[in-house]
Structure 1
Amino acid sequence: MARDNINDILVFLAVARERSFTRAAAKLGMTQSALSHIIRALETRLGVRLLTRTTRSVSPTEAGERLLQNVAPRLEEIEAELTAISDMGDKPSGTVRITAIDHVVDAVLWPRIAPLLPLYPDLHVEISSDYRLVDIAAERYDIGVRYGDQVEKDMIAVRLTGDEPMMIVGSPAYFARRPVPASMQDLLKHNCICLRLASSGGLYAWELQHEGQALEARVRGQAVFTNVYPMRDAALGGIGLAFLPESLVGRHVRDGSLVSVMADWCPAFPGLHAYYPSRRNSSRALGLVIDAIRYKG
């Protein structure tokens, strides 16, 4: 196969995975017109259409899907072998891509990774804040971070934190207007600050527990967000009640700017875990990052 085909296939794989010329161009640092030209040239050489394009979407054809499913893993094996050879040098190098929610990046990952970077100038870390349950293999991330019960069974998991206590919180100003809830029935009458789930598009049902029984509270309220920081800020501003990790709101409870309620209804979530695919050759760069972020408690 011509050497140019390999480079062009890599471009095709980026577009096919992103389902978007715009996102693929941004990821590759190329223009959309350059990507379109490369894909058209590849299709001409192969004699088949690889992508179906509409005004709203891009998707692989049957031939494109075959290329995506059968050729991409082989190229990834080559990339892994090249990384392993590079690791035989004196200095660990390469890029480690991580996906996690923004609060976890701020509270857990970055404080542990930042001291590592000055020690290894050839190590690069790319962190994406994402609330979706990302397929890290399909989207070419090296590490995902989620609560322990969300980690797929075929992944290697490394604990990052102890179990995470959750809290239902509201501001003193809010409780000056509304009674403190003591039961599920009380809670459902309150103005609750909701989280829109990125994966399903639905509203997150608060995962509570009382007297050993797991319960889902399908709360509603005036404010809906897609990440936890504005939820915390809305609670601090007296808008309503929020259900958030203790690591995000605990200090506000301790300084009195938030009040914790229904503590006996709030479970501790399984600790955060880093997870990654089982690979024959894991890079030294990946190993360094995993060792830096693992739970030391």
Structure 2
Amino acid sequence: MQREDLVDLNAFLTVAEERNFTRAAAKLGTSQSALSHTIRRLEARLGIRLLTRTTRSVAPTEAGERLLKTLGPALGSIGTELNALSRLREKPAGNIRITTSEHAAHTVLWPALEKLLPEYPDLHVELDINSGLTDIVTERFDAGVRLGESIAKDMVAVRIGPELRMAVVGAPDYFARHGKPHTPQDLAHHHCINMRLPTAGGLYAWEFEKDGRELRVRVEGQLAFNNVGLIMRATLSGMGLACVTTDHAETYIAQGRLERVLEDWCPPFAGYHLYYPSRRQPSAAFSLFVEALRYKG
């Protein structure tokens, strides 16, 4: 079938349904003479008359009726599919791959996805849990999620979460046995639970700041983990002090199972950001995803 066949068949269908060349021409956005020429061209190509014309009416011939019965449902099906494609533009679809830390996945990404995905069933999101600084271009990720301070300057960064704070915490029985530190320097006399960093593999130096003075303290203790869950478990057991983000500890603090120290040395810092290459041309699905995550607090 040639492209002109579809145009001519649609013209015939419209005239047959309207039973009037003038109304059909208006519906198709063309002139009556041009429409008449189109119908004559179709009849000549088929070698059979499709419409009976009088001065007062237009009606399909027997051949025209037969064509009409086949053509109506077929073109109707095409129209339905075209409408469905239009809805895809309105309702974005596609696959999005994100590399993120476990903490960001639980606290920021999942709450947003839980609301977004039921509304967009053709949107598919893959989260790769990896706390390392992944090269999202090489690894073919659409975007990554990291703390604002660790994002390269050549990336577009979108804030997706509130500011964060660290909390130095310990169990009440630990403090009953060892007392409480009043300055970061006092940590040298305490058992501390270290965090092994996933990037360079080194131990996290606890970071403090007060009155413009910044300190990084290398702490000592019997335990080191690369998992916050185990750090919290050891801390609750009274094995030492931990330095974690406040959301990991606040429930236990409220329950009285942990106590916080050095709070005035732990100011807020930039929270999680979504980042992606500045040269990326975002799809409708990706733009929707970004807006759903954008922090509005």
* Structures share fold, TM-score greater than 0.5: yes
- Amino acid of the structure 2 residue aligned with 1:105: A
Task: Name the residue aligned to 2:246.
Answer: 246
TM-score, normalising length: structure 1: 0.67
Task: Name the residue aligned to 2:229.
Answer: 229
Once the two structures are superposed, the pairs formed by residues 132-151 of structure 1 within 5 Å of their partners are 132-151=132-151
- Amino acid of the structure 2 residue aligned with 1:122: D
Q: In 2, distance between residues paired with 1:292 and 1:156?
A: 16
Task: Name the residue aligned to 1:28.
Answer: none
Q: In 2, distance between residues paired with 1:290 and 1:86?
A: 22
Task: Name the residue aligned to 2:8.
Answer: none
Q: In 2, distance between residues paired with 1:140 and 1:86?
A: 29
- Amino acid of the structure 2 residue aligned with 1:258: L
SS in 1 for 2:124: strand
Q: Which runs of 5+ in 1 are unaligned?
A: 1-84
Structure 1 contact 208–216 (Cα < 8 Å) conserved: yes
Once the two structures are superposed, the pairs formed by residues 97-116 of structure 1 within 5 Å of their partners are 97-116=97-116
> Deviation of residue 257 (structure 1)?
1.4
- Amino acid of the structure 2 residue aligned with 1:183: T
SS in 2 for 1:111: helix
- Amino acid of the structure 2 residue aligned with 1:218: R
Q: Deviations over 1:144-191 (max 9, x none)?
A: 111111111111111112221111011112212211011233112211
SS in 2 for 1:268: coil
- Amino acid of the structure 1 residue aligned with 2:238: G
Q: In 2, distance between residues paired with 1:283 and 1:102?
A: 26
> Deviation of residue 253 (structure 1)?
1.4
- Amino acid of the structure 1 residue aligned with 2:97: R
Task: Name the residue aligned to 2:4.
Answer: none
Q: In 1, distance between residues paired with 2:86 and 2:274?
A: 24
Judge which range, 105-114 or 248-257, deviates more. Answer: 248-257
> Deviation of residue 198 (structure 1)?
1.3
Once the two structures are superposed, the pairs formed by residues 1-297 of structure 1 within 5 Å of their partners are 89-297=89-297
Name which one, 1 or 2, has greater alpha-carbon Rg. 2
Q: In 1, distance between residues paired with 2:282 and 2:184?
A: 47
Q: In 2, distance between residues paired with 1:214 and 1:276?
A: 30
SS in 2 for 1:257: coil
> Deviation of residue 296 (structure 1)?
1.5
Q: 1:87 to 1:208 in 2, by over 3 A?
A: farther
Q: Deviations over 1:216-236 (max 9, x none)?
A: 010121121113222222212
TM-score, normalising length: structure 2: 0.67
Q: Deviations over 1:225-278 (max 9, x none)?
A: 113222222212222111111122122212211100011111222121111112
Structure 1 contact 87–284 (Cα < 8 Å) conserved: no
> Deviation of residue 209 (structure 1)?
1.2
Judge which range, 277-286 or 241-250, deviates more. Answer: 277-286
- Amino acid of the structure 2 residue aligned with 1:199: T
Task: Name the residue aligned to 1:43.
Answer: none
Structure 1 contact 98–144 (Cα < 8 Å) conserved: yes
Q: Percent identity?
A: 47
Q: In 1, distance between residues paired with 2:184 and 2:271?
A: 26
State the number of aligned residues.
Answer: 213
Q: In 2, distance between residues paired with 1:116 and 1:180?
A: 45
Q: Deviations over 1:22-50 (max 9, x none)?
A: xxxxxxxxxxxxxxxxxxxxxxxxxxxxx
Q: In 1, distance between residues paired with 2:111 and 2:209?
A: 32
Q: 1:210 to 1:280 in 2, by over 3 A?
A: closer
> Deviation of residue 86 (structure 1)?
11
Q: In 1, distance between residues paired with 2:127 and 2:265?
A: 34
Q: Which runs of 5+ in 2 are unaligned?
A: 1-84
SS in 1 for 2:274: strand
Q: In 1, distance between residues paired with 2:209 and 2:215?
A: 5
Q: In 2, distance between residues paired with 1:212 and 1:289?
A: 37
SS in 1 for 2:127: strand
